């Protein structure tokens, strides 16, 4: 039987998860010849054999509606200097790709991203107010440099010690 949550539990979970630093990505796809994308922190490696990733998207996401039809998607892992790109793709902007350098590499690929993963939707799974999108990895590439991170509602990057 599902446990019902109180608004206090939801707020406490939001605060607790805010203490988990995460990388930021722009997940992209094309539909009708037009690029689409959104900022997403809930991306993870699922399997190395075979190579797979999982994305967690809100049920209300317009990107999710496109991915549920299948097809390819790109995971653009943002570089430390791309905080304004993360903000743009998280807001209701009409053309999020305007004035950005990108090209179609199986899915829209943003110039300057720290890493790139091209995936193909293999399945979806409802999970609360989100849907998990499982994808088979078709290619992956990484560059040197620092990634953009998000912690306690602020942007930063990783510092080794």
- Per-residue pLDDT 10s for the chain (161 aa) are 455 566 788 889 888 888 888 999 999 999 888 999 999 999 999 999 999 999 999 999 999 999 999 899 999 999 999 999 999 999 988 899 999 999 999 999 999 999 999 999 999 999 999 999 999 999 999 999 999 999 998 999 988 88
Tell me whether residue 157 is in a domain.
no
CATH number of domain containing 63: 2.30.110.10
Tell me whether residue 159 is in a domain.
no
pTM for this prediction: 0.92
Domain that holds residue 46: 12-152
State how many domains the chain has. Answer: 1
Nearest to 90 by CA among 115, 69, 118, 62: 62
CA distance 121 to 55: 10
Q: What is the number of other CB atoms lying within 10 angstroms of the CB of residue 63?
A: 21
Residue 32: left if φ>0, alpha if ψ -120 to 50, beta else—which one? Answer: left
Tell me whether residue 113 is in a domain.
yes
Tell me whether residue 6 is in a domain.
no
For residue 87, what is the DSSP state?
H
Tell me whether residue 158 is in a domain.
no
Tell me whether residue 33 is in a domain.
yes
CA distance 57 to 61: 6
Tell me whether residue 77 is in a domain.
yes
Tell me whether residue 70 is in a domain.
yes
Cβ atoms of 100 and 29 within 8 Å: the answer is no
User: Could you give phi then psi for residue 13, rounded to 5 degrees?
Assistant: -65, -40
What pLDDT shows up at residue 3? Answer: 54
């Amino acid at each position: 039987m599902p446990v019902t949550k109180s608004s206090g539990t939801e707020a406490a979970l939001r605060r607790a998860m805010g203490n988990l630093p995460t990388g930021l990505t722009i997940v992209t796809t094309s539909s009708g010849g037009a690029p689409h994308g959104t900022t997403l922190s809930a991306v993870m490696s699922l399997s190395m054999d075979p190579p797979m990733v999982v994305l967690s998207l809100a049920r209300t996401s317009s990107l999710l509606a496109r991915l549920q039809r299948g097809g390819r998607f790109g995971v653009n892992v943002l570089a430390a200097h791309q905080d304004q790109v993360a903000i743009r793709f998280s807001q209701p902007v009409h053309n999020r790709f305007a004035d950005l350098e990108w090209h179609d590499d199986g899915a829209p690929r943003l110039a300057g991203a720290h890493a790139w993963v091209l995936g193909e939707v293999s399945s979806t799974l409802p999970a609360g107010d989100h849907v998990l999108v499982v994808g088979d990895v078709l290619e992956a590439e990484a560059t040197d440099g620092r990634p953009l991170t998000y912690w306690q509602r602020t942007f930063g990057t990783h510092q080794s010690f």
